[in-house]
């Protein structure tokens, strides 16, 4: 036995407790400790039954993710896994009852299913979320779960990885009883009852009742595969998870385990799994800010205020209400205020109609939002977020007003997506309290906030902003101050190349289809229509004086805006849209404008390949990302990856633009960038950092390691 696992007794029942905080992961020492404890209890003649429970706040929340990297790097033998541990448990002649609180996820649920019985508190959750790491359950999860819950439930759980609450798990047959009151006492009583029953302990591997009907199984598997096509576009692991569950319905247990192992290995060694594990750790890495102490006292955020009741202001307001923070919601007219409040109510009502929120919860959140037309009570706010039009003069005017009424220690945050935070801060007497909080649209849905520090933003304001992002259920990513910051500065280059490709011969539908097939949530032109082409048009006009003389710029998008084609909101942009329908439809008029514009500019149109579309758009992101890293606008390459995955619809299974470049090989990327510079000019000047890494045989991951990450 190890210190990570302890063995005690409650009369004739042995209690095995896992103590590996914070989540009792199956790190080295835990499986060995479980085996030693089970064997000791099995040898003890006074013990009639066994209870396995997690100490602290949860049962086993899963495997130690770092162990997967050891397998793929050859540091650890894949064949030395959980199976021997689970077999010892399953073959124990004394009944083993698993007592679940918190979560039993991944290897935790697999361990629980190797026990003979499972009990749980009502608030517990179980699940097989391995697909979110690009793998499938690898310790019998795809084989025992169908035997307990049936093929349909197992296929859904293994392919999508969503948590299942204890009441539903009871209904499905995954757990046997919900315990009211003390979990351990209830589990001990249940183990004693099972021991006294005289019945042989039930092994999940021996159950066949729920997988015995081939027609039911085939229908469930077909439905599962259809759902995977719709919900998991481009992903390998969900498809393989269905294949593994199918093996459980067709093969004897041991052969099913062998098939699961084969499929697990295929997934684990895939680029997708490596990318998704990178993303898993990336979400934790971005929270680490060099030079800011964890002990720094934060500004308590108990009340908030939002200036601007438009789409962004309303979404930001909802975030604060969702977090239980009272928030003032300001507009300049009653009409605008009523409209903004109406949109918030409509958004909440839609969530209620889908069953994701109760009417009572909606009413509670609406009660936290106080609509106002003046700055009265703003002095009570701990943070004030400006969410007005993307125009410097207007934002500076608002900050001048806020400076007069806000408390000296209040945070003044701007939701600007491109404008200079230092210039905005200059309109106040307290630049140390000013910071950018760039929410992504829709702000009440998107999980990321680009936190933009100005030259004088204080460490306390930065630390509070990062902590606040977490409280708002967002991932905060700290970036430096420049035009477009991290995300939009890179996105400008991506959009630029997409539009140049149109001028040179590609069609709108072709460019979008190539990027969509790559895995993007939407193609770049469809994204423009969704966001509103007028937004970028306004920004271009704001910064037009900064464009170098003679530099090539996209020629068509401004023409579309001049025609009133702003995208979905006007029923026409790069595509046309029918009333009440967001489905983009090809528009011959746009193609005609593109061709006429190219001819007028002397651009000879040609056939454009899929490969060129991918390289021009994706490598433009990478090259500018390298510049951003070199300038210190981004702390790490992983920060860029996470912002693009969470904020721009970049496919997580590609790992983000910088990780993807590493998988392609930076020498190849750099060579292409140099080639594009020769073909298309100075806009493609290679980043010195990209050149340095490529020529030294290093990666962006190596760059992060050199920074201590």
* Residues that are catalytic: 110, 130
Give the DSSP H or E segment for 386: strand 383-386
The Cα angle at residue 422 between residues 416 and 427, in degrees rounded to 5: 90
Structure tokens at 163: 């948590």
Q: What does each C-alpha distance from 27 to 104, 107, 375, 589 come to in angstroms?
A: 15, 11, 54, 61
Burial class (CB in 10 A: 0-12, 13-18, 19+), 634: buried
**Closest-CA residue to 514 (of 657, 663, 616):** 616
Using only C-alpha atoms, the chain has a radius of gyration, in whole angstroms, of 28
State the pairing for strand pair 434-439/448-452. Answer: antiparallel
Structure tokens at 702: 């190596």
Helix/strand/coil (H/E/C) assignment for every residue in 656-709: CHHHHHHHHCHHHHHHHHHHHHHHHCHHHCCCHHHHHHHHCCCCHHHHHHHCCC
Residue 49 · residue 194 · CB < 8 Å: yes
Query: Can you say whether residue 79 is alpha, beta or left, with left for phi > 0 and alpha for psi between -120 and 50 degrees?
Result: alpha
Residue 652 · residue 289 · CB < 8 Å: no
**Other Cβ atoms within 10 Å of 232 Cβ, number:** 18
Residue partners of 449: CB distance under 8 A and separation at least 6: 437, 438, 439, 440, 465, 469, 472, 474, 475, 476, 477
Rounded (10°) angle between helices 610-631 and 688-695:
100
Helix (H, G, I), strand (E, B) or coil at 10: strand
Helix/strand/coil (H/E/C) assignment for every residue in 293-306: CCCCCCCCCCCEEE
Q: Tokens 């910051």 correspond to what residue?
A: 485
d(CA 248, CA 128): 16
Residue 326 · residue 303 · CB < 8 Å: yes
**Other Cβ atoms within 10 Å of 44 Cβ, number:** 15
d(CA 417, CA 637): 20
Burial class (CB in 10 A: 0-12, 13-18, 19+), 353: exposed
Helix/strand/coil (H/E/C) assignment for every residue in 125-167: EEECHHHHHCCCCCCCHHHHHHHHHCHHHHHHHHHHCCCEEHH
Residue partners of 544: CB distance under 8 A and separation at least 6: none
Helix (H, G, I), strand (E, B) or coil at 414: strand
């Amino acid at each position: 036995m190890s210190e990570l696992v302890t063995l005690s007794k409650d009369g004739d029942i042995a209690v095995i407790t896992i103590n590996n905080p914070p989540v009792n992961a199956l790190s080295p020492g835990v499986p060995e400790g479980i085996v030693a404890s089970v064997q000791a209890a099995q040898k003890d003649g006074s013990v009639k039954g066994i209870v396995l429970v997690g100490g602290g706040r949860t049962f086993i929340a899963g495997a130690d993710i770092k162990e997967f990297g050891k397998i793929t790097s050859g540091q650890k033998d894949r064949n030395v896994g959980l199976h021997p541990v689970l077999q010892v448990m399953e073959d124990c002649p004394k009944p083993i009852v698993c007592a679940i609180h918190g979560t039993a996820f991944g290897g935790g649920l697999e361990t629980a299913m190797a026990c003979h019985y499972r009990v749980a508190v009502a608030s517990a959750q179980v699940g097989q979320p391995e697909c979110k790491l690009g793998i499938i359950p690898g310790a019998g999860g795809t084989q025992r779960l169908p035997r307990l819950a049936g093929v349909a439930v197992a296929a859904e759980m293994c392919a999508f990885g969503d948590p299942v609450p204890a009441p539903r798990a009871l209904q499905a047959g995954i757990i046997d009883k919900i315990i009211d009151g003390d979990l351990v006492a209830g589990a001990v009583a249940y183990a004693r009852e099972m021991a006294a029953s005289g019945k042989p302990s039930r092994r999940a591997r021996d159950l066949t009742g729920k997988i015995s009907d081939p027609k039911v199984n085939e229908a469930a598997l077909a439905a599962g595969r259809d759902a995977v096509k719709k919900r998991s576009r481009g992903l390998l692991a969900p498809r393989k998870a269905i294949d593994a569950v199918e093996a459980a319905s067709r093969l004897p247990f041991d052969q099913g385990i062998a098939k699961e192992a084969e499929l697990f290995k295929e997934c684990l060694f895939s680029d997708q799994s490596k990318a998704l594990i990178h993303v898993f750790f990336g979400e934790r890495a971005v929270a680490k800010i060099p030079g800011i102490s964890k002990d720094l006292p934060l500004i308590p955020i108990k009340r908030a205020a939002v200036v601007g009741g438009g789409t962004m202001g309303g979404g930001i307001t909802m975030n604060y209400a969702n977090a239980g923070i009272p928030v003032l919601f300001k507009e300049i007219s009653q009409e605008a205020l009523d409209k903004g409040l109406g949109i918030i109510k409509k958004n909440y009502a839609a969530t209620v109609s889908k069953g994701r929120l109760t009417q009572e919860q909606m009413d509670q959140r609406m009660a936290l939002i106080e609509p106002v037309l003046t700055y009265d009570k703003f002095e009570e706010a701990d943070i004030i977020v400006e969410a007005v039009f993307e125009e410097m003069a207007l934002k500076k005017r608002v900050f001048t007003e806020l400076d007069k009424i806000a408390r000296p220690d209040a945070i003044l945050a701007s939701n600007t997506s491109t404008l200079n935070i230092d210039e905005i801060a200059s309109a106040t007497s307290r630049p140390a309290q000013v910071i950018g909080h760039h929410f992504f649209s829709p702000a009440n849905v998107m999980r990321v906030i680009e936190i933009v520090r100005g030259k004088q933003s204080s460490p306390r304001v930065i630390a509070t902003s990062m902590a606040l992002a977490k409280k708002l259920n967002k991932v905060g990513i700290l970036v430096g101050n420049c035009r477009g910051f991290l995300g939009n500065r890179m996105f400008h280059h991506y959009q630029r190349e997409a539009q140049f490709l149109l001028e040179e011969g590609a069609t709108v539908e072709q460019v979008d289809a190539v990027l969509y097939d790559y895995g993007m949530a939407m193609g770049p032109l469809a994204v423009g229509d969704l966001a509103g082409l007028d937004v970028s048009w306004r920004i271009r006009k704001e910064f037009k004086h900064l464009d170098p003389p003679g530099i090539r710029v996209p020629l068509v998008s401004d023409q579309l805006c001049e025609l009133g084609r702003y995208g979905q909101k006007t029923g026409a942009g790069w595509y046309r849209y029918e009333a009440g329908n967001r489905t983009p439809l090809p528009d011959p008029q746009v193609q005609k404008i593109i061709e006429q514009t190219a001819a007028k500019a002397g651009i000879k149109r040609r056939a454009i390949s899929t490969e060129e579309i991918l390289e021009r758009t994706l490598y433009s992101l990478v090259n500018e990302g390298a510049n951003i890293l070199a300038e210190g606008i981004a702390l790490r390459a992983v920060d860029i990856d996470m912002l693009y995955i969470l904020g721009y619809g970049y496919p997580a299974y590609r790992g983000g633009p910088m990780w993807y470049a590493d998988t392609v090989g930076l020498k190849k990327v750099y060579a292409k960038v140099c080639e594009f510079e020769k073909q298309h000019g100075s806009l493609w000047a290679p980043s010195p950092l990209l050149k340095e890494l490529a020529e030294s045989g290093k990666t962006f991951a190596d760059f992060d390691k050199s920074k201590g990450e």
